[in-house]
Amino acid sequence: MPGYGFRSREEWGDLIIDYISNRSQLKRLFILIDPTAGLKDTDRNIMQMMDEKAVSYQIILTKRDKLRPEAYHLSKTAIEKYL
């Protein structure tokens, strides 16, 4: 599935949101978040949308190797605080 960041919603529209919302076989959605960038508005929006539609999701932090342990911990803590 494509990302939901810059221009991607224009590219795939609401079709994928309908698919995610109405697909009974879907058990969990994995949301990939780059901890070097932190949570973006698009991340918050998709999580809020999934909460509203009662879709189970899990956050996966990517690019772990791009941050020093201290910076990763700070980013992870900020993301966990939002959740």
pLDDT at 5: 57
Rg over alpha carbons for the chain, rounded to the nearest Å, is 14
Residue 59 has a pLDDT of 93
Cα(50)–Cα(4) distance, integer angstroms: 13
- Residue 11 is predicted with a pLDDT of 61
Average pLDDT rounded to a whole number, residues 48-59: 89
In the predicted model, is pLDDT for residue 26 greater than 70?
Answer: yes
Quickly count: other Cβ atoms within 10 Å of residue 52's Cβ: 9
